[in-house]
Structure 1
Amino acid sequence: MQRLLDVLLSGLALVVLSPLLVPIAIALRLTGEGEVFFVQQRVGLGGKAFGLYKFATMLKNSPSIGTGTVTVKHDPRVLPLGRLLRKTKINELPQLLNIFKGDMSIIGPRPQTQRCFDAFPIASQMEIVKVRPGLSGIGSIVFRDEEELMHASAEPERFYDDVIMPYKGLLEEWYVAHQGLVTYMLCIFATAWVVLFPTSRIVWSLFADLPKQPSALVDSL
């Protein structure tokens, strides 16, 4: 049922959003470095790598500059138009193609680069690869301001590896254990809600049994 909904909803979204996606593609082609899409290898179902589509928002060789595949607030590698696309999450919309193809689901653990996937605890890694990664999901909703959190730390990469990823791993484990149509639909609702109301804590009301936040994140999420 979830796969059927993925195909129907992603196909419908691609049609409905085409008046937005096409002008953005043209604008990207005419600005920045002239790239429309950025395809990056991510860890997917069964631990297999797949090419994840995004609108190009950063310099071509960004993975080899600065913090690599980890993006921080005010990252100098982000192009001017890219800042708007990233802030509104519009840069993620090409992943509707990944969903339609079957690489991803609308809801699931966020697909990570190998470097970021390796930052998960081993137990979390083993659970995460049991399901298709998602355009959104529990981890994405809770950590919607991840770049802000890292920016507030004196050592952003260490904070990412030692605090964010272990807890995010627990959230994704929770999703794998509770996956189903109800969780799927509630996550879609929560995703839309926090886009409209970014400071909302609705996720904690919808999913009261989420893993307890570590002390370093209690006042941040």
Structure 2
Amino acid sequence: MYKFRTMHVLQAEKRLVTSVDDPRIFSFGSLIRKAKVDELPQLLNVLKGDMSIVGPRPEDPVIVERYYTEGQLRTLEVLPGLTSPGSLYYYTSGESLLTGDNTDEKYIEAVMPMKLAIDLYYTKNTSLMYDLQIMLRTAYVIVAKLAGRNDFKEIWECSKIRFEKK
């Protein structure tokens, strides 16, 4: 998967998850990440057929190997995408939980289960209209974040997931 580099090459500590105000990110890298410009090279992956526009975002292989349940592994049965409802959840709600120390643990325990549940919901309900909606929502969220907005309502898939669990 291609990306523009936004972090220092030599890192003192190895974390699996990037936290809010992560010291490994260089200053211009923060802007690139906020605008999601670092993801643009992945369009080459889409053209090559390795990725799609919409689909579950690729995860660090170490996280997949150590922490995914058998059910969560189903997200790997479809092409990964540039955006997904799970990544919208992460970008609007989950990312803000990753502050301070132990960000890997916070991600594994508090963010990843909902993110993957949402992406599993997507894989079961995929359609052209749903994909178009996700692309529009993604564009809106990126523009809103660039404009300084950080207070997003929980994405509607969260309530669907909670309803299905009951």
TM-score (norm 2): 0.83
The match for 1:54 is 3
Identity of aligned residues (%): 32
Distance in 2 of aligned mates of 1:57 and 1:88: 12
Count of equivalent residues? 156
Q: Distance in 1 between matches of 2:98 and 2:45?
A: 28
Match of residue 69, structure 2, among 121, 140, 149: 121
Distance 2:63 2:144 in 1: 28
| Equivalent position SS for 1:56 | coil
Question: Is 2:91 the counterpart of 1:133?
Answer: no
Cα distance per residue 1:103-149 (max 9 Å; x no partner): 11110000111022233322111x11221001000101111044321
**Structure 1 CA distance for aligned equivalents of residues 39 and 121 of structure 2:** 24
Please list, as runs of the form range in 1=range in 2, the aligned pairs for 1:45-84 lying within 5 A after superposition: 52-62=1-11, 65-84=12-31
Deviation at 1:200, TM superposition (A): 4.0
CA 1:83–1:197: 2 relative to 1, 3 Å: closer
Task: Give the structure with the larger strand fraction.
Answer: 1
C-alpha distance 191-71 of structure 1, shift in aligned 2 (>3 A): same
Deviation at 1:212, TM superposition (A): 2.1
Letter in 2 for 1:85: I
Q: Which has the higher contact order (CA 8 A, sep 6+)?
A: 2
Secondary structure at the residue paired with 1:197? helix
Pick from 157, 179, 182: which aligns with 2:126?
179
Measured in 2, the distance between the counterparts of 1:160 and 1:200 equals 19
Contact 1:190 1:202 in 2 (8 A): no
What is the root-mean-square deviation in Å for CA atoms of aligned residues? 2.2
**Distance (Å, rounded) in 1 between the aligned partners of 2:64 and 2:158:** 26
CA distance in 1, matches of 2:61, 2:90: 19
Aligned partner of 1:160 in structure 2 is 107
User: Residue 2 of structure 2: SS of its match in structure 1?
Assistant: strand
- Say if 2:4 and 2:38, in contact at 8 Å, map to a contact too: yes
Confirm or deny that 1:91 pairs with 2:43.
no
1:197: Cα distance to partner? Answer: 2.7
Q: Distance in 2 between matches of 1:208 and 1:150?
A: 19
- 5+ unaligned residues in a row in structure 1: which ranges? 1-51, 214-221
TM-score of the superposition, structure 1-length normalised? 0.64
